Amino acid sequence: MNSLERVFNSVQGKPVDRRPISLTLSLYGARLTKCPLEEYYSRSEAYIEGQIAVKETFDPDILFGPFALVREAEAFGSQSIFLKDYPPNLKTPAVTSGQDVSQLNIPDIDSHPRLLYIRESIQALASQFANEKAIAGILMSPTDMPALIMGIETWLDTLLFHEKTASQMLDLTSRYFIQWANSLFAAGAHIIVLPLMFCNPGIITEKIIQKKIIPLLMDVFKEIQGPIVCHHGGARLSPFIEYFSSLPNIAAFLLDSRDNFSEARSKIGDQQVLMGNIDGPGLAKLTTNEITHKCTEILRDRQNDPHFILGTSNADIMLSTPPENIHAIFQSVKEFQKEMDS
C-alpha cells in the first residue's frame, strides 16, 4: 500500500497497513537543502528541491505545498518580511482602513508571481509524486484572508462594527478563494488545508459565527472541487468543531495539540477524519523518548478509529528540530503497528 492509498483509505474508513503520517515539513526542506529562505519561498524550483529532500529523508504520506500564507496577501498588495528561520510574515497590510476596501481587486491567479510560485510548486510536486503521495495545498480561508490584507486589528474592528464593509471584503475574498482553491486542485493537489482562525468564539462573537461566517462558508465550500481539511489555526478546535462538520467538502479536521480526540469525535460523528495532534514547533525541544511516548499515547487512543491520521499540529516543524526527533514519529508508528499485528 502506498501513501496515497493509505491516506484515502483513512478518509473512507477502509483498512490500512499502518496509520498515515502527516508532518508539516514545508519549511524543513530548506534545512535539508541549505537553501536561503528568501529563495526557498520565492522560487518554486528551490522549494521542490527541498520537498524532494523531505521525501527522501523521512518519506511522509502527505507532501505539502508552501506554508506561506502571506504570499497570498502580497498578491493583494500587502508586504512581507523575513524573520530568522521562519517563513515570510506580514510586514504591512495592503489597506489600513475599511474605507480603502473598495480599492481592492482580485489578483490575477494566472500571472501574479507570488501565486504562481505556490501553484507551480504544487504542480511540480504532483507531476513527480501524485501517484504515490497525497499532495496538499495550504491556503487562507475567505474569512481569514482579510486579516492579512487589512491587519488583524482593522479586520476585527470591521467585522465587529462595520457590517457593510465586512460583507464587501468577504465577498471579495470569497470570489478569490473559489478561483484559487480550484486552480490548486487543477494543478494536482489532492486536498487543501485551511487554517480557521477568525471562526473562533474566543476571537469573534458566536452571533457573527452563526449568522455570517457559517452561511458564507457553506456557500463557498460547495463551489470547491475537492476535499478540504479544516486546520485549527492556533486555537483549540474540539470545543466548537461541530460548527463546521456539516459544511460541504469537509473531509478532515486537524486538531490542536491541546484538543481532545474523543470530544471532537463525539461532536462530529464517525465519518470525517481527525488528524493531529503532535505539536510540530514543539518537537525541537523534546527528546526522542518523549516523542515516542506522545505518539504511542495518541495511537492507543485512536486504535479503534478508522478515520484517523497521525500528524503535527500548529505551524511548521522548526528548522532547529533534530532529524532524529522526526524519525522517532515514524518509528513509533512502525512499532505500534507491529504490536497491533502480533
**pLDDT of 126:** 98
In this prediction, residue 316 carries a pLDDT of 97
Number of domains comprising the chain: 1
Mean pLDDT on 153-175: 95
Q: What is the pLDDT of residue 253?
A: 98
DSSP helix/strand/coil, 183: helix
CATH number at residue 68: 3.20.20.210
Write the pLDDT tens digit of every residue in 245-264: 999 999 999 999 999 999 99
User: What is the sign, positive or negative, of the torsion defined by CA atoms of 266, 235, 229, 287?
Assistant: negative
- pTM tops 0.85: yes
Which residues constitute the domain of residue 191?
3-341
Contacts of 310 (CB under 8 A, 6+ apart): 19, 20, 21, 22, 275, 276, 278, 295, 298, 299, 302, 329, 333
CA dihedral 201, 205, 206, 212 (to 10 degrees): -110
Across all residues in the chain, what is the average pLDDT? 96
Q: What's the pLDDT score for residue 200?
A: 83
**In this predicted structure, what is the pLDDT of residue 197?**
87
Enumerate long-range contacts of 209-216, CB under 8 Å, 24 or more apart: 209/243, 210/243, 212/166, 212/170, 213/143, 214/243, 214/244, 214/247, 216/142, 216/143, 216/170, 216/174
Residue 75 has pLDDT above 90, yes or no: yes
Percent share of the chain, pLDDT over 70:
100
Q: What is the DSSP letter of 211?
A: I
Q: Report the distance separating Cα 217 and Cα 214, nearest Å.
A: 5
Query: Is residue 205's pLDDT more than 90?
Result: no
Instruction: Please report where in the chains the cell 459565527 appears, as a residue.
Output: 209
Judge whether 18 and 333 are in contact, CB under 8 Å.
yes
Outline where DSSP puts E strands in 256-338.
273-279, 308-313
**199 band by pLDDT with thresholds 50, 70 and 90:** confident
Query: Residue 78: what pLDDT?
Result: 98
